Structure 1
Protein backbone atom coordinates (compact mmCIF):
# COMPACT_ATOMS: atom_id res chain seq x y z
CA UNK A 1 0.00 0.00 0.00
CA UNK A 2 1.20 3.53 -0.70
CA UNK A 3 2.63 5.42 2.29
CA UNK A 4 -0.01 8.16 2.01
CA UNK A 5 -2.79 5.59 2.22
CA UNK A 6 -1.11 3.85 5.13
CA UNK A 7 -0.87 7.18 6.94
CA UNK A 8 -4.56 7.88 6.28
CA UNK A 9 -5.45 4.39 7.48
CA UNK A 10 -3.46 4.98 10.67
CA UNK A 11 -5.24 8.31 11.28
CA UNK A 12 -8.66 6.78 10.60
CA UNK A 13 -7.92 3.90 12.93
CA UNK A 14 -7.19 6.28 15.77
CA UNK A 15 -10.02 8.72 15.02
CA UNK A 16 -12.74 6.25 14.11
CA UNK A 17 -11.56 2.87 15.32
CA UNK A 18 -11.05 1.46 18.75
CA UNK A 19 -7.33 1.49 19.40
CA UNK A 20 -6.04 -0.44 22.34
CA UNK A 21 -4.63 1.44 25.32
CA UNK A 22 -1.09 0.75 24.10
CA UNK A 23 -1.94 1.97 20.59
CA UNK A 24 -3.55 5.12 22.01
CA UNK A 25 -0.47 5.87 24.10
CA UNK A 26 1.81 5.29 21.12
CA UNK A 27 -0.46 7.53 19.03
CA UNK A 28 -0.09 10.37 21.53
CA UNK A 29 3.68 10.05 21.37
CA UNK A 30 3.55 10.09 17.56
CA UNK A 31 1.40 13.23 17.59
CA UNK A 32 3.86 14.96 19.89
CA UNK A 33 6.92 13.99 17.86
CA UNK A 34 5.47 14.42 14.36
CA UNK A 35 3.83 17.83 13.85
CA UNK A 36 2.80 16.89 10.29
CA UNK A 37 0.94 13.86 11.60
CA UNK A 38 -0.74 16.02 14.24
CA UNK A 39 -1.79 18.53 11.57
CA UNK A 40 -3.07 15.77 9.28
CA UNK A 41 -5.01 14.19 12.13
CA UNK A 42 -6.54 17.55 13.10
CA UNK A 43 -7.53 18.19 9.48
CA UNK A 44 -9.06 14.73 9.19
CA UNK A 45 -10.97 15.26 12.44
CA UNK A 46 -12.34 18.57 11.11
CA UNK A 47 -13.38 16.80 7.92
CA UNK A 48 -15.25 14.14 9.90
CA UNK A 49 -16.99 16.83 11.95
CA UNK A 50 -17.99 18.74 8.79
CA UNK A 51 -19.33 15.57 7.19
CA UNK A 52 -21.25 14.75 10.36
CA UNK A 53 -22.78 18.24 10.45
CA UNK A 54 -23.63 18.10 6.74
CA UNK A 55 -25.36 14.78 7.33
CA UNK A 56 -27.33 16.23 10.23
CA UNK A 57 -28.42 19.19 8.10
CA UNK A 58 -29.46 16.89 5.25
CA UNK A 59 -31.44 14.74 7.67
CA UNK A 60 -33.07 17.85 9.14
CA UNK A 61 -34.11 19.00 5.64
CA UNK A 62 -35.52 15.57 4.84
CA UNK A 63 -37.46 15.46 8.10
CA UNK A 64 -38.86 18.96 7.49
CA UNK A 65 -39.97 17.86 4.02
CA UNK A 66 -41.66 14.77 5.42
CA UNK A 67 -43.31 16.89 8.11
CA UNK A 68 -44.62 19.43 5.59
CA UNK A 69 -45.99 16.64 3.37
CA UNK A 70 -47.65 15.03 6.35
CA UNK A 71 -49.19 18.37 7.37
CA UNK A 72 -50.53 18.93 3.86
CA UNK A 73 -52.03 15.44 3.78
CA UNK A 74 -53.54 15.93 7.22
CA UNK A 75 -55.07 19.28 6.23
CA UNK A 76 -56.39 17.79 2.99
CA UNK A 77 -57.79 14.81 4.85
CA UNK A 78 -59.38 17.09 7.46
CA UNK A 79 -61.01 19.19 4.74
CA UNK A 80 -62.31 16.08 3.04
CA UNK A 81 -63.57 14.65 6.31
CA UNK A 82 -65.35 17.90 7.12
CA UNK A 83 -66.88 18.06 3.65
CA UNK A 84 -68.20 14.50 3.85
CA UNK A 85 -69.19 14.44 7.52
CA UNK A 86 -72.90 14.78 6.71
CA UNK A 87 -72.69 11.74 4.42
CA UNK A 88 -71.09 9.66 7.15
CA UNK A 89 -73.75 10.68 9.63
CA UNK A 90 -76.49 9.84 7.15
CA UNK A 91 -75.00 6.40 6.53
CA UNK A 92 -74.68 5.68 10.27
CA UNK A 93 -78.33 6.55 11.07
CA UNK A 94 -80.56 3.56 11.38
CA UNK A 95 -83.24 3.45 8.71
CA UNK A 96 -86.85 3.48 9.77
Structure 2
Protein backbone atom coordinates (compact mmCIF):
# COMPACT_ATOMS: atom_id res chain seq x y z
CA UNK A 1 0.00 0.00 0.00
CA UNK A 2 1.24 3.48 -0.80
CA UNK A 3 2.53 5.44 2.22
CA UNK A 4 -0.06 8.22 1.77
CA UNK A 5 -2.91 5.69 1.80
CA UNK A 6 -1.45 3.92 4.80
CA UNK A 7 -1.21 7.26 6.62
CA UNK A 8 -4.81 8.09 5.75
CA UNK A 9 -5.91 4.67 6.96
CA UNK A 10 -4.08 5.24 10.25
CA UNK A 11 -5.79 8.64 10.69
CA UNK A 12 -9.21 7.15 9.90
CA UNK A 13 -8.72 4.34 12.41
CA UNK A 14 -7.90 6.93 15.06
CA UNK A 15 -10.80 9.26 14.22
CA UNK A 16 -13.35 6.46 13.96
CA UNK A 17 -12.13 4.81 17.17
CA UNK A 18 -11.18 1.51 15.53
CA UNK A 19 -8.01 0.91 17.48
CA UNK A 20 -6.92 -0.99 20.58
CA UNK A 21 -5.07 0.42 23.61
CA UNK A 22 -1.67 -0.44 22.13
CA UNK A 23 -2.50 1.39 18.90
CA UNK A 24 -3.72 4.40 20.90
CA UNK A 25 -0.38 4.56 22.71
CA UNK A 26 1.47 4.20 19.41
CA UNK A 27 -0.69 7.01 18.01
CA UNK A 28 0.45 9.35 20.78
CA UNK A 29 4.09 8.56 20.01
CA UNK A 30 3.51 9.20 16.31
CA UNK A 31 1.90 12.56 17.10
CA UNK A 32 5.01 13.54 19.04
CA UNK A 33 7.43 12.44 16.35
CA UNK A 34 5.45 13.65 13.31
CA UNK A 35 4.23 17.25 13.66
CA UNK A 36 2.32 17.08 10.36
CA UNK A 37 0.25 14.16 11.62
CA UNK A 38 -1.78 16.39 13.94
CA UNK A 39 -2.42 18.82 11.07
CA UNK A 40 -3.47 16.01 8.71
CA UNK A 41 -5.68 14.49 11.41
CA UNK A 42 -7.44 17.80 12.05
CA UNK A 43 -8.00 18.28 8.31
CA UNK A 44 -9.50 14.80 8.06
CA UNK A 45 -11.67 15.40 11.15
CA UNK A 46 -12.99 18.63 9.60
CA UNK A 47 -13.70 16.79 6.36
CA UNK A 48 -15.72 14.14 8.22
CA UNK A 49 -17.57 16.88 10.08
CA UNK A 50 -18.39 18.65 6.81
CA UNK A 51 -19.63 15.44 5.21
CA UNK A 52 -21.82 14.71 8.22
CA UNK A 53 -23.28 18.22 8.12
CA UNK A 54 -23.92 17.96 4.37
CA UNK A 55 -25.68 14.63 4.92
CA UNK A 56 -27.90 16.13 7.61
CA UNK A 57 -28.78 19.08 5.40
CA UNK A 58 -29.64 16.74 2.52
CA UNK A 59 -31.84 14.65 4.80
CA UNK A 60 -33.57 17.78 6.10
CA UNK A 61 -34.25 18.94 2.50
CA UNK A 62 -35.70 15.53 1.61
CA UNK A 63 -37.90 15.47 4.72
CA UNK A 64 -39.14 19.00 4.01
CA UNK A 65 -40.00 17.97 0.46
CA UNK A 66 -41.92 14.92 1.69
CA UNK A 67 -43.75 17.09 4.22
CA UNK A 68 -44.66 19.63 1.53
CA UNK A 69 -45.95 16.88 -0.74
CA UNK A 70 -48.06 15.39 2.05
CA UNK A 71 -49.40 18.80 3.06
CA UNK A 72 -50.29 19.54 -0.58
CA UNK A 73 -52.14 16.24 -0.87
CA UNK A 74 -54.06 16.97 2.32
CA UNK A 75 -55.03 20.45 1.05
CA UNK A 76 -56.30 19.00 -2.24
CA UNK A 77 -58.24 16.35 -0.33
CA UNK A 78 -59.87 18.96 1.95
CA UNK A 79 -60.78 21.08 -1.08
CA UNK A 80 -62.43 18.09 -2.75
CA UNK A 81 -64.35 17.22 0.42
CA UNK A 82 -65.59 20.80 0.70
CA UNK A 83 -66.69 20.80 -2.95
CA UNK A 84 -68.56 17.50 -2.57
CA UNK A 85 -70.22 18.72 0.62
CA UNK A 86 -71.31 21.91 -1.17
CA UNK A 87 -72.76 19.93 -4.06
CA UNK A 88 -74.68 17.65 -1.69
CA UNK A 89 -76.29 20.66 -0.06
CA UNK A 90 -77.28 22.15 -3.41
CA UNK A 91 -78.47 19.05 -5.29
CA UNK A 92 -81.90 17.61 -4.61
CA UNK A 93 -81.96 14.29 -2.75
CA UNK A 94 -83.22 12.40 -5.79
CA UNK A 95 -80.11 13.27 -7.83
CA UNK A 96 -77.72 12.25 -5.06
CA UNK A 97 -78.65 8.56 -5.19
TM-score of the pair, normalised by structure 2: 0.82
- Mean CA deviation greater in 53-62 or 16-25: 16-25
Q: Following TM superposition, where does structure 1 have runs of at least 4 consecutive aligned residues deviating by more than 6 angstroms?
A: none
Alignment match, 2:47: 47
- Structure 2 alignment gaps of length 5 or more: none
TM-score of the pair, normalised by structure 1: 0.82
Residue 28 of structure 1, CA deviation: 1.9
Residue 17 of structure 1, CA deviation: 4.3
- Structure 1 alignment gaps of length 5 or more: none
Q: How far apart in 1 are the matches of 2:58 and 2:82?
A: 36
Q: How far apart in 1 are the matches of 2:77 and 2:22?
A: 61
Q: How far apart in 2 are the matches of 1:19 and 1:82?
A: 63
Q: Secondary structure at the match of 1:27?
A: helix
Q: How far apart in 2 are the matches of 1:75 and 1:28?
A: 60
Alpha-carbon RMSD = 1.9
- Mean CA deviation greater in 45-54 or 18-27: 18-27
> Which has the higher relative contact order, 1 or 2, with Cα contacts under 8 A spaced 6 or more apart?
2
Residue 29 of structure 1, CA deviation: 2.1
Alignment match, 1:22: 22
